[in-house]
Every structure is written in C-alpha cells, then in structure tokens.
Chain A
Amino acid sequence: MSLKNSLSVMVVDDMSTSRSLILMALEQIGITNIDFCKDGQTALQKIAAKPVHIVISDYNMPGLNGLQLLKALRENKQTSRIGFILVSGKLDKEILSTGKKLGLNNFITKPFDTPQMKNCLQAVVGPL
C-alpha cells in the first residue's frame, strides 16, 4: 500500500475557504485519509483521540495560533513525533525561525498550487 493511501493528515484552519483550498490540494495529490478542524484546541483533542502523521496548520487563528499548536503537540510525548507544516500568508523569517526552534517540519505560503503543496509534503514524508 502506498504512502499516499496510508498517510493521515489533519488540516487546521479557521477560515473555511483556505481549509477547502488545502483539502482540495491534498485530494488532488491523492491523499484520502484527511481530517480537519477549525482551531488548535479542537485539533489537539482530535489528535489525542486519533493520532495522525502530519498536521497542516494555518498560522493566524483565534485561540491557539499555528506555532502555539505546534508547541503543544511537541510538548506532549504522545504527539511529539507528528509532522507539522505551517501555512502562512507571507514568508516571515521571525515566525519561521521560532517555528524551527519548536520543531517545525516545513512551511508553505499562500497562495499555493497543488504541485507546491505536493513538494512541500514530499520534503517531509518522502516521495508520494
């Protein structure tokens, strides 16, 4: 069974438009095991109940922002090994260097297309 089919992904974004754009890209890549939620807190609960391989999260969200979600995941032994991709509106070095310190695996800037999303994912999980 290919990596595409077994990879489970959690998409976290408060805006349904950008969530849908990410989901559409993932579906076009051929990833089927996708869950999503609107905020970091829900993501943590969902992941605790059902672990995933990769989290793709927006940076700018009410409640926990993307990096706070990453931090919370890394601090919990059960979820510390989950891959984390940050989606952000612009390339902000400050956010990225903080992210890197927290163990960010990759990032992608909006707007992106499906090949860009695929490249971004492959850099983390290997060829899809």
Chain B
Amino acid sequence: MSSLDDIKQMFFLECDELLEALNDGLADIEASMPTGALDPEVINAVFRTVHSIKGGAASFGLEAIVRFSHCFETVLDQMRAGKLPPDAENIRILQRCADHLADLVAAGRADQAPDTATSEPLVAQLNGLIGDEGRASAEPVQVPEPEPEPESDDDDLSFPPLAIPLGPEDLAAPAQMLYRIDVTASAELFATGHEPVHLFRELAGLGDLTVRADTAGLPDLETLVPETPYLRWRLELATDSGEEDIREVFEFVDTLATVNIEQVEPETSATIGPASASEAASAPRNPSAESENTPLPLTAAKQSGAAPPKTAAAEASAPAAKGPKSTVRVDLDLVDSLINIVGELVINQSVLTQSFSEANVANRADIGSSLDEYKSLALQIQESVMSLRAQSVKQLFQRMARIVRETSEVAGKSVQFDTEGEDTEIDKTVIERLIEPLTHILRNAIDHGLETAESRLAAGKSETGTVCLSASHRSGRVLIEVSDDGAGIDRKRVFEIAASKGLIAQDAQLSEAEIDRLLFLPGFSTKAAVSDLSGRGVGMDVVQSAIRKLGGRVAITSAPGRGTTFSISLPLTLAVLDGMVVDVAGQTMVVPITAVLETIRPTRDDVHMMGSTAQVIKVRDTLVPIVDLGLAFGYRSCGLTVTELVLLLIETEQGERWALAVDRIIDQRQVVIKSLEGNYGHVPGVAAATILGDGKIALIIDPEETAQMAERDLPAPAPLLTAIGE
C-alpha cells in the first residue's frame, strides 16, 4: 500500500506531465490562432490539466497552488465556453500563468514558500479577463465543503441506498459459456516442439481457465519411457468466445493431439468444485475458489504473480502487448545504481574474455559460445538500461521556450521561437545539465545576437527575430543547435575587445573561426554595460566548460548580417563509449571511435616537414598537421619516424583536421567511462579514464583538445599552412 507521502511524490511527477500537456495545449492554441480553427478538445484538455493539478494540490493542502489554479481554471473555463477569445494577448497571459503554476508546483515539491508576490498581479490579470459573471465563481476559493450526509439531507440531492446484490447470478457475466476441453497429446506433439502449456496460456487469454493434469497414466520411474507422453489434461474455460476460437488455439496441433471440446451448462461448474453456493458467491468467478480440487488456476496465478517460474517471462510480456502502453515510475537512484552495476558487468565481461584467452581455452567451442552469449547478453542489458535513462528533450525545450519569452520581454525584442527534433532522446543527466548552458546561449542570442527592431527593419529584415533550437542524432552523438537570424558576430569588435583586455596580442593573426572562439575565453564580455539578461558576470566560457563536462563540444559559426549558430555536440550516454584502444610509447590509451575519421599508415612521400619539428601529412590534397600523442603527453622526449607510426585522422567541430600519431592500434571495444575530474580536476587532453580487461587503467583522450594543445606548440600553423597549401 502506498502512503500519503508516496502519493504526494507521485502527484509532483504527474504534475510534470500535466504541465507539459498544458504547455503543449497552449502552444496548439497559439498555433491555431491565425486560422481560427481551434479544436474545442484542445481547450478542454488544457482546462483539465489545470483542474487536475488543482484537485491533486487540494488533497495535499497545497493552498497556493489551489488558489492560483482556481483562477487560472476559471479563465480557461470562460475560454472553453467561448466567452473569452484565444487571442495573442490572452494566450500570452495564459502562458505566463502556466510558467507561474510550474514555479508554484516546484516550490511545493521543494517544500518552499510559494512565490505569492508573483501570483497576485497574475491573479489580478486573470480576474481582469473574467467578466463580472465569471468573477463570482472565481472569487474566494471555496475550500470544498464536507460532503453532506445523504441521510440528513432532505433536498433532492440525497440518494437512495443501493441494495447490493451479492448472489452469483447477479454477477455472472452476460453471455459467458463454460467449455470443458480434454486434451491428450501424442508423442509427436512434443517431438515437434509444441508445448501444451503455451496453448493453455493462450486459452487463458479467452477467459477464466482452470487446468487439471490427469496423472493417472503416469507409470513408475523404472518403466517410464521419457519420450512417451502419459499426461492428459482437463480444462475448463469460462468465456464469451465461441467454440471456433477455442479450436483456433489448437489449430497447429490438431493432428498431434486429441482435443475434445464440450459445452457445459454453467450449473455443472458448481458441481465440479466442492465449493458451496455461499463460497462461490463470496468469490464470484474466481477460479481459486475451487482450489480444493487442486486445479492449476492460470488466471489466478497471473493475478497474484505466483506464476510458475518457467512461464514468468511470457506472463510478463503478454499483458503488455494487449493494453495501452503502461509505465512504471522508478526512482532515478535505482536506475543510476543499475547503470553502475552494468558498467561493472561490462568490465567484468572483458576481464573474463581476456582471462579465457590467456588460459588458452577461449577456442573451446563450449566456452567460446557461452562467452559470446554472455557478451551479447551483457550488451543487451546495457542497451536496455541506458535507454531507461533516455528522455526526450521536449521538456527541456519547453523550459527554454519560457526563457525566450521572459528574455524577449525584458529585452523588448519581438522573438519567434522555433524548435525542431523535440522527440530526440538524450540521457536524463545530460538534459538536466544542459539547462544552464542552453539558457545562457539563448539569452545571449536574444540579447546580443538579435538586433533591435529598428536595425532589423533598416537591414531589410522582418521586425520579429527568429531563434531556433533544434536537436538531432548525428553519427552516434546528439547535436543541439541554437541559431538566430541576427547580425552575426562583429568580429572586428570581438578582436578589439580581446586585444584591449590583453587576451590576445594586438597584432595576432587570427582566422574567423579563431576570432569566434575568443567568445569562449574566460572573462570575455562584448556588452559595454553588464546587461540584466545574459551578462550575469559569467561568460560563454562557463557554457563551454559545462558542455565539456558532459563530454561534449560547442562550436560557433556566424555569418555577418545573417546570424549566428551555436552547435553543441554531445555523447548519447555518459557511461560507456566505443573506443579505439591504442599503444602510445608503451602506454595504453583510448581514443573515442566517433572522433576517428580514418586510420592511415603513412608513407615517406606523404609526410612533409613544417619548420624544424612540425610535420604534416597530405591527405587527398589537403595538408593535415600531425600530432604525436607520445610527445603531446610527454611519454617520449623525441619524435619517432612517422612512417613507423599509425595516424588517426580526426576532425574538430570547426571542421579542422588533425592526424594523431600512435604506435599501434590494439583493439576496438566498448569502454566504461570513469571520470577523473572528481579527483584530478580537468586534465587537458584527457576526457576520462577506463579500466581495461586486464584490470589496468587507460586514459581516454579528448582528441580535439589534444590537437588544440599541440597546436599551441606549433609555430604559427594557420598562415604557414595556407602558404604551403597554395
């Protein structure tokens, strides 16, 4: 039994769904505004969400929510009745109310005092929308009166007591028939892979089934022939399906088993079991009432969960297939601990594989196949567990829609907010940790990115700026983009500011991409006055570090006069990664496989020297700088001949290519990510660590950062490269 506290927690979870539906509904109403073709069911649904939140809140004494949602619901009721037009202004107020209701729910959840200061002006606005007639009903929230005692109530609202008929005849299902089915299987039936219990289970789907096995024919153990069937079954099925449906169940075995189907009068069922009439009445139509006759009550077993172990799996899947999709709410901590354990399982699996191969037994057929099966099962479990954490970005996007609304209001800019790919699923933790960086980027896009209405008009653009937030899956990663159709990055200004702040040399030669990246430098701010919105003392560097902590990268592209796009590329999960295990000067390291475009074994002709130390390789007419990982990480002090090494071609988010040189490629496998940041902070070039099959620890490198690290050591690569390229 769940306690009131459990139900309260369930209420808050349900509120998340209801608030989401509320936002969806309001968006639908908004979208239908231009055409005026509004589906009344949409407003109905919106009304219901607020009503449901109110109802639930009342049960837990959450007065502030009850009070506010009451006014909210009254306005929606008016709109539903056609007394209030769903125009832009009204929708805007309703959206603000939805936002505030979400805040109130969040406060209730955190046991904090509700923000009634914000409620008041909104309630006043809502009351302004309600006509005088509606106001009467919206006025003081009636804490529902206790329900009147029907007996003492003389008016026409009292109800006559109901005489409850408890006899079996009253509850007998209308058109149910009782069938007796005798089944005798031939040896052939078992020999051809049929299993009576599956057939019986299918029958149980037609109605209430009891099964009894007739074991009389079973001989002593000495005389028993294992392949001879001795059992017979008598089944009784109460169902509204016809005999045809029953025959259909046995369709595939009709030549392999003798099946006699006989319709019996319902009365005879009472004589089958010794249950008295009163007992039958007390548990109508419950097969377990006849348990003295030791039948196997399939349906009863299903209800109590006491199904025989062999059938458990099928029992679990059968009901799911029938009804609508059902869900179970699970504590996130449980899922997380499951993920951790599965991570250990994956490590354990690779340890086992390695020990078997060292013990030289892996090629024994039995061990090999069990090992393969273990591997595939571990992988399946891992995938399923990971998908438990996956969530669509819809709620995140809705939350961002609110940020856009609020920001555009404060900034006094008219903004159209578009979203794409709301159904894209990402790890829940990633979604949670995206809130802050995305908020920052969006505020930035509206505050700095979009021009004022006047400049937009002067530039021949529409007065309303557009900000688009999109999510999509791209080659094993998730790509989230925020783009605006503003003025684009003023690179000259960015350069000047960076130079004036001493972040770069006054005469530095920077490419456009490099100038754009200056925005991510700590302490960079382009707005002269710290604005109320995006400039809260944190810069884009915070965005970068937040994204980096998620194993992601953020990149900017910008076109003058056309706008700016921030692209965030994220791993699908935080727990495992497909890695290429490589040897670097005797150290085992892991390179994320998603980063590797191709591997190259260079010939002397491909490699060119740049200056005294730097080398580049010609890959299909472009020159790609080579970074020796051994040198970059200090595992060796002088470079080896590149032709003895293997090159991994990688590409950064900005599209720059690098060739990482390693001694050799050892393997390609899934590795469990173990973060180092808790103990070591951020180590440049290193994303995390992992434990290999032999129990040793290997560093997982961050290829892009490693390349950038090495880039700083190169003698002015950009101009030099261009010169050589030409």
Q: Which residues of A contact B (CB under 8 A)?
A: 1, 3, 5-8, 14-18, 20-21, 24, 27, 48-51, 53-54, 60-62, 78, 81, 83, 89-91, 93, 96-97, 100, 104-112, 116, 119-120, 123-126
Contacts and interface: CB of A to CB of B under 8 A. Distances in A.
Nearest to A37: B323
A24 B164 contact: no
A100 B156 contact: yes
Contacts of A124: 159, 161-162
14 contacts: A3-B164, A5-B282, A18-B55, A20-B7, A24-B4, A48-B173, A50-B173, A81-B170, A96-B157, A109-B144, A110-B55, A111-B144, A112-B147, A123-B149
Interface residues of B, number: 47
A23 to B, nearest CB: 8
B662 to A, nearest CB: 54
A93 B157 contact: yes
A17 B11 contact: yes
Contact of A83 (B48, B142, B162, B174): B162
B692 to A, nearest CB: 46
A15 B282 contact: no
Given A27-B1, A51-B173, A126-B164, 7 more contacts: A24-B1, A50-B173, A89-B51, A89-B54, A89-B144, A106-B150, A116-B146
Interface in B28-70: 44-45, 48, 51-52, 54-56, 58-59, 61
B304 interface: no
Nearest to B240: A49
Contact of B150 (A27, A49, A83, A123): A123
Contacts of A108: 147
Contacts of A120: 147
B409 interface: no
B144 A18 contact: no
A27 B45 CA distance: 31
A63 to B, nearest CB: 10
Q: Identify the 7 closest CB pairs spanning chains A and B, nearest first.
A: A17-B11, A111-B59, A83-B162, A17-B56, A1-B282, A109-B144, A123-B150
A126 B45 contact: no
Contacts of B61: 111
Contact of A116 (B147, B160, B161): B147
A48 B176 CA distance: 11
Contacts of B164: 3, 7, 53-54, 83, 125-126
Nearest to B165: A81
B173 to A, nearest CB: 7
Contacts of B283: 6
Contact of A89 (B14, B58, B160): B58
B166 interface: yes
B598 interface: no
A105 B162 contact: yes
A57 to B, nearest CB: 14
A17 B162 contact: no
A78 B7 contact: no
B159 A104 contact: yes
Contacts of B147: 91, 107-109, 112, 116, 120
Contact of A97 (B144, B150, B151, B156): B156
B716 interface: no
A91 B144 CA distance: 7
Contacts of A123: 149-151, 159, 161
B268 interface: no
Interface in B317-346: none
B145 interface: yes
A24 B2 contact: yes
Contacts of B56: 15, 17-18
Interface string B136-149: 00000010111101
A112 B56 CA distance: 11
A99 to B, nearest CB: 9
B7 A62 contact: no
B285 interface: yes
Contact of B159 (A14, A93, A105, A112): A105
Nearest to A39: B324
Contact of A110 (B10, B18, B59): B59
B161 A20 contact: no
Contacts of B142: 90
Contacts of B14: 15-17
